[in-house]
Amino acid sequence: MNPTKTFDPSSIDAILDKTISTVTESKEQIFDIGEQSREEFERLSKELKGIREAVLETIRRGDLLETKSRLSRSKLAEVSKHFERYGEEEIKQTYESASQFQVELISTRQKEAALRERRDDIERRLLILEETVERAERLVNQISVVLSYLDSDLRKVGDIVRDAKEKQDFGLQIIEAQEEERGRVSREIHDGPAQMLANVLLRSELIEKTYMQKGVEEARRELQDLRQMVRSALIEVRRIIYDLRPMALDDLGLVPTLEKYLRTVSESTGINIHFRCLGNERRLPPKMEVATYRLIQESVQNACKHAKADEIQVKVEFQEQLSILIRDNGIGFNKTERKDQSFGIIGMKERVDLLDGTIQIESTPGKGTMIFIQLPLSKQEAWK
C-alpha cells in the first residue's frame, strides 16, 4: 500500500496538538516545582537567619558561663585548700555554684552544637533548593522555546506536507484531466471531421458514378454539396484547434482573444460578462499571454459552472505589472472546505507562482467571489 495515499496530513496537527498539550502540562508542573522550591527557600532563609542569631547568642552565653565556671572552680579550689577557714554553709554554696555553672555550660555547649548542626543542614538544603529553582527556571525557559518551535516552525511541517499532498492530488487530477481531454478530442474528431471525411470519400465515389451516368450538370451539383461538406469539416477542425489553443492569441494578442472568448461564453450561457482593459495595452511574451488567458478562462469557467452567477466582471490593467480582476455575484464558497473547483484554484496558484506573481482569492458564501492577480511585466517582457 502506498502510504502517501492513506496518510492524512491533518494527523500531524493532531500529533502536534497532543505533544504541545503534554509539553505545556510538563512546563506547568516544572513551574510549580520551582515555585514550591522558591517558597521553601524563603522559609528556610528566614529560619537560618534566626538560627544564626541564636548561635551567636548561645556562644556569648557559653563564653560567659565559661568565665563564671572558671571563677567558681578557682574558688572551689581555694575552699578545698583552706577548708578550715570556711563555714559549712559557704562551702556548700561554693560546691553547688560550681556544679550549677558546669551543668549550664555543658547544656549551653550542647545547644550550641545542635544549633550549628541545624544551621549547616539548612545551608546545605538552601544550596540544593537554589540549584533546583535555577534548574526549574532554565527548564521552563527551554520548554517555552520548544513550545514556540512546536507551535510555529514545526507547525509549518503540517502545512508543507498538506501542500505536498495537495500538489500530488493536483498532479493526479492533471493526469486525469489530460486523459479526459484526449478522450474528448478523440470523440469530437471521430464524430465530426472523421465522419465528414468518410462521407467526402463516399460522395467523391458517388460523384464519379453520377458523372458517368447522369452527366456534367448532376456531377456539378454533387460537387457543390461536397464543397459545403468539406467547408463544414474545416470549420469543425478549426473549432477543435481553437479549444486546444486559440490561434488568435498568437495573431491578435491577449486582449482581442479575451474579448472574443468572453463574448462567446456570454452568448452561450446567457451570463452578462463585462470586460474592461485599462492602461497601455501591448503584446506580451507568448508564454505569459497563454498563462494569463488560461487564468482568466479558469476563473470565468468556475464562475459559470459553480458560482451560479448571472454577472461577471473581468478587468485587465497594464501598468508596471499586469493586474487582473475577476469578480462574480454568485453563491461564493467557503475557502476552508474542499470543493470541486479546489484543484482548479491550485492550478491557478501554480501558474501564478511560475510567473512570480501573486493571487488573492476572496469569497464568502452568498456574496460572490473576487480573484485578484498581479503579474510582474518587466521580467516577463525581458524574455522577448
User: Which range of residues forms the domain containing residue 347?
Assistant: 248-381
Query: Are residues 214 and 330 located together in one domain of the fold?
Result: no
pLDDT for the residue 367 = 85
Query: Are residues 331 and 230 located together in one domain of the fold?
Result: no
Query: Are residues 209 and 331 located together in one domain of the fold?
Result: no
Judged by DSSP in three states, 210 sits in helix
pLDDT for the residue 130 = 87
CATH no. for residue 301? Answer: 3.30.565.10
Q: Which amino acid is at 325?
A: L
Q: Is residue 165 one of the residues assigned to a domain?
A: no
Can you tell me the mean pLDDT for 295-312?
88
Q: Which of 90, 121, 153 is the last residue of a domain?
A: 153
Query: Are residues 276 and 365 located together in one domain of the fold?
Result: yes
Residues of the chain above pLDDT 90, percent: 15
pLDDT for the residue 240 = 63
For residue 317, what pLDDT band results from cuts at 50, 70 and 90?
very high
Alpha carbon of 297 to those of 291, 303, 311, 326, 346: distances in Å?
10, 10, 15, 10, 14
**Number of domains making up the chain:** 3
pLDDT for the residue 23 = 79
pLDDT digits over 146-178, tens only? Answer: 777 666 655 565 565 556 556 555 555 555 655
3-state DSSP of 279-301: ECCCCCCHHHHHHHHHHHHHHHH
Q: Is residue 274 one of the residues assigned to a domain?
A: yes
Pick the more confident residue, 170 or 44.
44
Whole-angstrom Cα distance, residue 327 to residue 342?
17
Q: Are 284 and 377 in contact (CB under 8 A)?
A: yes
Query: Are residues 307 and 355 located together in one domain of the fold?
Result: yes
Query: Are residues 231 and 361 located together in one domain of the fold?
Result: no
Residues of the chain above pLDDT 70, percent: 75
Nearest to 375 by CA among 335, 348, 341, 347: 348
Q: Are 246 and 262 in contact (CB under 8 A)?
A: no
Query: Are residues 237 and 278 located together in one domain of the fold?
Result: no
- How long is the chain? 384
pLDDT for the residue 315 = 95
For residue 179, what pLDDT band results from cuts at 50, 70 and 90?
low
pLDDT digits over 333-373, tens only? Answer: 876 665 544 556 777 887 888 888 999 999 888 888 999 99
Query: Are residues 81 and 148 located together in one domain of the fold?
Result: yes
Out of 14-23, 190-199, 270-279, the most confident range is 270-279
Neighbours of 155 (CB within 10 A): 16
Query: Are residues 215 and 287 located together in one domain of the fold?
Result: no
Whole-angstrom Cα distance, residue 213 to residue 224?
18
Q: Are 255 and 279 in contact (CB under 8 A)?
A: no
